[in-house]
Structure 1
Amino acid sequence: MSFQSLHFLLFVGVVFALNRHFLDRIETRKNILLVASYYFYMCWDWRYAGLLLVISAVNFVAGRSIEASRTERGKRRWLAFSLMASLGVLACFKYANFFIDGAERLIAALGFAPDGPLLQVLLPVGISFFTFQSLSYTLDIFRGRERATDSFRDFALFVAFFPTVLSGPITRAREFLPQLEQPLPDSRERVEEGLVLIVRGFVKKIAFADVLALHLVNPAFAAPADYSPLFLLVAVYGFTFQLYMDLSGYTDIARGVAKLLGFELPQNFDRPYRALSVSNFWQRWHISMSGFFRDYLYFGIGGSKRGNVYLNLYVTFIAIGCWHGAGWNFVVYGLIHGSCVCFERWRRGRREARGLPATPQGPVARLCAILLTLQIVALSRILFRAPDLDSAAAYVAAMLRPVSDFAPFTAVGVATLVVAVLLHYLPRHLFAQTARAYLRAPVVVQGGVLAGLVLALLAVSPGAASFIYFQF
């Protein structure tokens, strides 16, 4: 069920209407949302709906058992069961092909050839997101931050809630489950805000992410040796903003649909390319994912209080890299970001020891910090976009050792990148003012603006491309 399809729009419309009709009948409303969520997931791949159900059941049982255990040993056993089952399934589906390919290369290096094609495992869509979302529940119960729910139906809905199941935001149970028990007051303003978010998300995806991919990113990464270093460099910045527009666009749609249904989801982005450091970037980028690794991995292995803080940071960022994909390019991606964060922490400590401010002061210093951080983030994206480490190295080599001066820039591609950059750095209040002006306008004007925007999106749309993070 593509988000850019009539099927999705009709689906959301039907679920919204049913949800509104049964707003005062909480149990019926929950049943409708659960059925709708599983229907939505099965439209992507019906074979893995059972996997979604199993992950939910494992963590529901583990959560209740952790809370019921009277000994610390018993709690740890049930937590270990939850971790091994959930992470084992994730590793099996997400990293099996990596080890299979490695085994195939090893066999070939030893002079043997496999008798037949080796097994390739199909990755269930959204598995990283719903696995981590369900794990956060059992980990919070173990730490005493969450009470176990008595309703498997409610927990299953929390894990499978269709706006978040594919690409987040990774929502904590303490944020979502109370909204099932005590629904937020019905609000016309929330519905209007939801519509604005949905429209903004589609604009980001169709008018920016997909256009940048078509005109800059895909050609450059398909055959980097065919293009000039300038075109390859611009394509790197193009991918940097494509990725942001793609994932933040999905998040806007997810949060908007949730608002239509009466739920509030956490914010997932805070102008990440305005970050003053790589550390600050991870406080602004994919906040729900980076927050998960911070709270449950970094703090879990000691953080800055136990063990070596730099080793703990490296472990966390390598895990973040590997979460994005099974490949050495993602390991190196994590190492680069981990090294930057470790250096920044060391430098911040040195400055504070000398009585100097930890962050850049003054507009020039702040601008330089933003530009430096953007370069590190953008260039490391080559590892993120390339299919493997060799392809990333080939891309960098083409940038450094030019063999072509071919630079097929298009007016649409360059203009889209320029507008994306400008929108990212414009003051936030301008967007809030525009949204308020739209919501205050007469219904006829709102409908006309919306119709014109839809027609414009259809005109510039290069086709229904899947969201990038669906592969994770």
Structure 2
Amino acid sequence: MAFQSYHFLVFFITVFLLVRVVLKNHHEAKKNCLLAASYYFYMCWDWRFAGLIFSITLINYVTGRLIKQADETAGKKLWLGVSLISSLSILAYFKYANFFIESFNGLLIGLGLEPSVPLLSVILPVGISFYTFQSISYSLDIYRNRLEPVSSLRDFSLFVAFFPQLVAGPIVRASHFLPQLDKSFKEEIKNPVESGTALILRGFIKKIAIADVLAVHIVDPAFASPSDYSPLFLMIGLYAYSYQVYMDFSGYTDIARGAARCLGYDLQINFDRPYKATSIGNFWQRWHISMSSFFRDYLFHGLGGSRYGNVYFNLFITFVAIGIWHGAGWNFVAYGVCHASLVMYERWQLNRRKRAGLGVKEYTGLHWVWRVFWIFTIVSLTRVLFRGGTLSDAYAYMEAMGNWSNTHTPLGPLALMTLIVAIALHYTPSQWTYEWKAVYCRLNSWVQSGVIVATLFVILALTTGTAPFIYFQF
């Protein structure tokens, strides 16, 4: 059930009316309704997925309680191990089994032997990476004494399956969401329905009016046949893809946060103007924050962080894991290795400055502009591995970028205008975003309705189809 489908529109309006009107004063019934709606939402993708998400939910609910009840550290580690091994094994089977089989068969072929292991007939469940990590973070937080286990299986199931963020995040921490399910919890957001609607509209504009247009007019043609285009067009294609994936994913996050807010729940911010980063490390602090902070808190710090062991080794493992999290392919491994190498180099530079008695380097004025552009260019170049499909596809794209005899640069006015708008929206001050949302919330309800209708009209006029959100594949 895609967000941009009429099915979701009818579904969400129905759930909203039930939760906000019919069951407004019936706390337990409201949670039952949301849980049933969330499972229905997920089963619309494939009814068999319901058993999978419930299995992961039940494993971590039970092991979370057992971790807390264990008297000794050994017992706590045992049940944490059960949680991690069980959950990650399920994830590995559905997402990585065929990758390992293909790699093993490729190794056999390289040795002159016949491949002997058949591929598995498995469907990658939508959102499995997101809700698996969300579930195991609960067990890890209990093990670290940062969280008390929840007593209600229903509440924990709703935390894992809450439909606005189920298939593509943000990865919600139990410590952030579970307290909101308590009857005594008071909403702190003013005008939740109005501000939630504003977020939803912004998300659809990002997705349909910007991301999909960039895909159709620049990105898809460039990656479909890179040898047909000039190096200039291919470089613009990489820049456009960076904005496409940002507008697509942050647009989904806006819709998810807006839908949750309309229902009375708050989800954390997942992006902070990532292309304003002045280093690769800073980029990951701004990009897909819920995922990068998960790897920072649970893997990087779990390995020892910068205090124990070799910090460069810990960074390398963490970023390779981030690469593999995005997909089962050697291109994603290479993507992780590239970013690991860049962050390790930045850490080495920082340590060298500290030894010389210097602090973190500050960038201002034109130096800041150049630094931001340079970091954005590096990020965009590495995304050829992210978008290319395979290592050979990425190589073909980069090889075509070296063919300066080709001058074919079919950059139409709509494509160029959309790219300029995407850049302008990204670099406007964050305060402007809050101000226009505040203005919308203060409008008369009839005027707000007019804004919604006008926005929907523009979206429908510009739509190029119902392309799925990019991060659904992860």
**Does residue 19 in structure 1 map to residue 16 in structure 2?**
no
What is the alpha-carbon distance in structure 1 between the residues aligned to residue 346 and residue 15 of structure 2? 47
Cα pair 1:96 1:121 within 8 Å, conserved: no
Q: CA deviation at 1:109?
A: 4.4
AA aligned to 2:15 is: V
Give the aligned partner of residue 381 of structure 1: 383
After superposition, the Cα gap between the structure-2 partners of 1:104 and 1:381, relative to the gap in structure 1 and judged at 3 Å, is: same
What is the alpha-carbon distance in structure 2 between the residues aligned to residue 331 and residue 66 of structure 1? 33
TM-score by length of structure 1 reads 0.97
**Does residue 454 in structure 1 map to residue 456 in structure 2?**
yes
Give the aligned partner of residue 263 of structure 1: 265
AA aligned to 1:31 is: N
After superposition, the Cα gap between the structure-2 partners of 1:115 and 1:313, relative to the gap in structure 1 and judged at 3 Å, is: closer
Give the aligned partner of residue 242 of structure 2: 240
What is the alpha-carbon distance in structure 2 between the residues aligned to residue 97 and residue 409 of structure 1? 39
CA RMSD of aligned residues (A): 1.6
What is the alpha-carbon distance in structure 1 between the residues aligned to residue 78 and residue 239 of structure 2? 47
Cα pair 2:214 2:244 within 8 Å, conserved: yes
Cα pair 1:33 1:161 within 8 Å, conserved: yes
Give the aligned partner of residue 5 of structure 2: 5
| Per-residue Cα deviation, 1:1-53 (whole angstroms, up to 9, x for no partner) | 12111110111111111111212211111110000000000001111110000
AA aligned to 2:9 is: L
AA aligned to 2:37 is: A
What is the alpha-carbon distance in structure 2 between the residues aligned to residue 149 and residue 456 of structure 1? 45
Give the aligned partner of residue 398 of structure 2: 396
**In the TM superposition, what are the counterparts of 1:312-461 in structure 2 within 5 Å?**
312-402=314-404, 404-461=406-463
Give the aligned partner of residue 55 of structure 2: 54
Q: CA deviation at 1:125?
A: 0.5
Q: CA deviation at 1:98?
A: 0.8
AA aligned to 1:2 is: A
**Does residue 135 in structure 1 map to residue 158 in structure 2?**
no
**Does residue 217 in structure 1 map to residue 214 in structure 2?**
no
Q: CA deviation at 1:108?
A: 4.2
Q: CA deviation at 1:232?
A: 0.6
What is the alpha-carbon distance in structure 2 between the residues aligned to residue 439 and residue 367 of structure 1? 34
Q: CA deviation at 1:338?
A: 1.1
Q: CA deviation at 1:403?
A: 5.5
After superposition, the Cα gap between the structure-2 partners of 1:329 and 1:403, relative to the gap in structure 1 and judged at 3 Å, is: farther
SS in 2 for 1:46: coil
**Does residue 67 in structure 1 map to residue 44 in structure 2?**
no
| Per-residue Cα deviation, 1:273-318 (whole angstroms, up to 9, x for no partner) | 0011111111100000000000000000100111000110000000
| Per-residue Cα deviation, 1:72-120 (whole angstroms, up to 9, x for no partner) | 1100000000010001111111111212222343454455666997334
Give the aligned partner of residue 118 of structure 1: 119
Cα pair 1:184 1:262 within 8 Å, conserved: no
Cα pair 1:38 1:49 within 8 Å, conserved: yes
Q: CA deviation at 1:386?
A: 0.8
SS in 2 for 1:266: coil
Gaps of at least 5 residues in structure 1 are: none
What is the alpha-carbon distance in structure 2 between the residues aligned to residue 353 and residue 119 of structure 1? 53
Gaps of at least 5 residues in structure 2 are: none
| Per-residue Cα deviation, 1:352-381 (whole angstroms, up to 9, x for no partner) | 333333132432222222112111111111
Cα pair 1:67 1:148 within 8 Å, conserved: yes
* Greater Cα offset, 438-447 or 218-227: 438-447
What is the alpha-carbon distance in structure 1 between the residues aligned to residue 52 and residue 117 of structure 2? 28
| Per-residue Cα deviation, 1:151-202 (whole angstroms, up to 9, x for no partner) | 1111011000001110111011111111001343387611111000000000
What is the alpha-carbon distance in structure 1 between the residues aligned to residue 300 and residue 282 of structure 2? 16
SS in 2 for 1:299: helix
Give the aligned partner of residue 283 of structure 1: 285
Q: CA deviation at 1:327?
A: 1.2
Q: CA deviation at 1:451?
A: 1.2
Q: How many matched pairs?
A: 472
What is the alpha-carbon distance in structure 2 between the residues aligned to residue 90 and residue 68 of structure 1? 27
Q: CA deviation at 1:262?
A: 0.6
AA aligned to 1:86 is: S
**Does residue 78 in structure 1 map to residue 87 in structure 2?**
no
What is the alpha-carbon distance in structure 2 between the residues aligned to residue 17 and residue 184 of structure 1? 20
AA aligned to 1:216 is: I
Cα pair 1:360 1:369 within 8 Å, conserved: no
**In the TM superposition, what are the counterparts of 1:120-269 in structure 2 within 5 Å?**
120-181=121-182, 182-185=184-187, 189-269=191-271
Q: Percent identity?
A: 53
What is the alpha-carbon distance in structure 1 between the residues aligned to residue 240 and residue 370 of structure 2? 21
AA aligned to 2:207 is: K
AA aligned to 1:66 is: I
**Does residue 90 in structure 1 map to residue 84 in structure 2?**
no
What is the alpha-carbon distance in structure 2 between the residues aligned to residue 14 and residue 24 of structure 1? 17
TM-score by length of structure 2 reads 0.96
Cα pair 1:186 1:262 within 8 Å, conserved: no
* Greater Cα offset, 334-343 or 85-94: 334-343
